[in-house]
Amino acid sequence: MRKNFNEFKEFIKNKNVAVVGIGVSNIPLIEFLVKLDAKVTAFDKKNSNELEEVVNKFSPKGVCFQLGEGYLSGLKGFDVIFKTPSMRIDSEALVAAKEEGTYITSEMEEFVRYCPAKVYGITGSDGKTTTTSLIYKLLKEEGFDTWVGGNIGTPLFTKIEEIKTSDRVVLELSSFQLMTMTDSPDVALITNLSPNHLDMHKGMEEYVEAKKNIFKYQNKESLLVLNKDNNITASMIGENKGSLYTFSIKETINQGAYFKDNNLYAKGVKVCSKNEVRLKGMYNIENLLAAFACTCDEVSIETMKKVAMTFTGVEHRNEFVRELDGVEYYNNSIASSPTRTVASLLSFEKPVILLAGGYDKNLPFELLAFEGHEKIKILILLGATRNKIKAAFDLLKREKGIEIPIYIVDSLEEAVNKAREVSTEGDIVALAPACASFDMFPNFEVRGNKFKELVNSLK
């Protein structure tokens, strides 16, 4: 049973509150806290010139600002701190604040704690956003007033008083958001797990434990949904506090969803055939099965079939950009890990000209080389990891005698031009970087949009 939001309103009134990180989700949070009569100070490493609009908006409302280099030195003497998800709880500033007795939380933690509606939480290494979007579509199509948030959609904590008990809420949750969670969603899904974000986590064990928080605090009325085909998620079977459903493309599942003889099933009932599904690739079949398993207790087979046959995907996820001179261009900028890039490659029927490389998350690229090479015709590498990826393909050549043509470039523009130069009619060019974007772009959306802009400007 979740807490009544009136308790939070009473708790936060007149408190000295710090909001760390003035980003997309925290700007509405600052405004919301001010409305609840909290005394707010906002912290960010950006300077006042970069945040001029925000400072001008909130200063007249009594909000104080700590900005620029060394901004965290002022994080003392607060009753409550709302941290940005990427800020580790064991950071020096937060450890010192906790020793002072400060209550440390985040927008998402408080939302899950007080949300009056049934909450679906989705996490995993790959497929989170597509599966979150599918679950949202399924519930909405079934007739529920449905909200979507977390890593996608709008910041929901500021909308909490508009949400009814009869509504449904779907949240995409990252390992960073989950690390400090002490409340779990009513329905929790882990799509799959593989090495990811090891630049932020101390190791794979910490990453997996953070993901487990999505179900660790459930109760006997809750539902946990796990991928039976993924070794790490399969090993969690038996740790559920309430009901357990699974999904698989390899075996028949009674409680959950499965794929067999080219058909998709939910709780043993056929939903549709693979040929009727609009989304490309077996990894999207897995995403559909995960969504079916999560919603099969309150969504009809007819609704599942309708969504499967009409849902065309999410931007930056194997998104078709254009065809030029018989060459198709696809944007999969969201593919920020080797496993996700391999999954993307497998969705194509023939080898592609792959554009890869970017920010180094300390992930190994041997998987991309050894499991993805059959689907790569030509490799065009850019970014901070270009030589690291090349080294993995050099190893493939030494150990297996398999050689993929590789071009090293300095920019995304050069990569697109090189792809145009080396492609011939019938080829597929795909941006699926296997890396984050931060060495060259603020996020994967900006990278994907730039790719689309460059492709659409080709004459």
DSSP label at 3?
Answer: P
Whether residue 187 sits in one domain with residue 290: yes
Task: Write the pLDDT tens digit of every residue in 300-342.
Answer: 999 999 999 999 777 787 888 889 999 999 999 989 999 889 9
| Residues 6 or more apart in contact with residue 457 via CB below 8 angstroms | none
Whether residue 154 sits in one domain with residue 78: no
DSSP 81-148: EE--TTS-TTSHHHHHHHHTT-EEE-HHHHHHHH--SEEEEEE-SSSHHHHHHHHHHHHHHHT--EEE
Whether residue 152 sits in one domain with residue 178: yes
Give the number of other Cβ atoms within 10 Å of residue 318's Cβ.
23
For the chain, give the percent of residues with pLDDT over 70. Answer: 98
Can you read off the two tokens belonging to residue 380? 């065009």
CATH of the domain at 217: 3.40.1190.10
Whether residue 196 sits in one domain with residue 248: yes
Listed residue (132, 115, 227, 224) closest to 166, CA to CA: 115
For the chain, give the percent of residues with pLDDT over 90. Answer: 80
Q: Residue 202 has what pLDDT? A: 66
- Taking residues 84-109, report their average pLDDT: 90
Give the end of a domain, one of 105, 122, 144: 105
Whether residue 428 sits in one domain with residue 344: yes
Burial letters 135-154, b for 16+ CB under 10 A, else e: bbbbbbbbebebbbbbbbbe
Q: Residue 38 has what pLDDT? A: 97
Whether residue 297 sits in one domain with residue 433: no
Side-chain-side CA neighbours of 67 within 13 Å: the count stands at 13
Whether residue 332 sits in one domain with residue 370: yes
As a whole number of angstroms, the distance between CA 353 and CA 381 comes to 11
Whether residue 437 sits in one domain with residue 363: yes
Q: Which domain holds residue 41?
A: 5-105
Give the end of a domain, one of 75, 105, 135: 105
Whether residue 54 sits in one domain with residue 137: no
Whether residue 75 sits in one domain with residue 179: no
Lowest-confidence segment of 311-325, 399-413, 424-438 by average pLDDT? 311-325
The count of domains in the chain is 3
Give the number of other Cβ atoms within 10 Å of residue 249's Cβ.
17
Whether residue 273 sits in one domain with residue 202: yes
Q: What residues pair up with 243 in beta bridges, in sequence order?
A: 223
CATH of the domain at 443: 3.90.190.20
Lowest-confidence segment of 37-51, 105-119, 129-143, 149-163 by average pLDDT? 149-163
Task: Write the pLDDT tens digit of every residue in 226-242.
Answer: 999 999 999 999 999 99
Listed residue (211, 174, 136, 142) closest to 25, CA to CA: 174
Give the end of a domain, one of 310, 336, 356: 310
pLDDT range class, residue 199, cuts 50, 70, 90: low
Whether residue 271 sits in one domain with residue 179: yes
Q: Residue 352 has what pLDDT? A: 97
Q: Residue 201 has what pLDDT? A: 58
Please give the mean pLDDT across all residues of the chain: 93
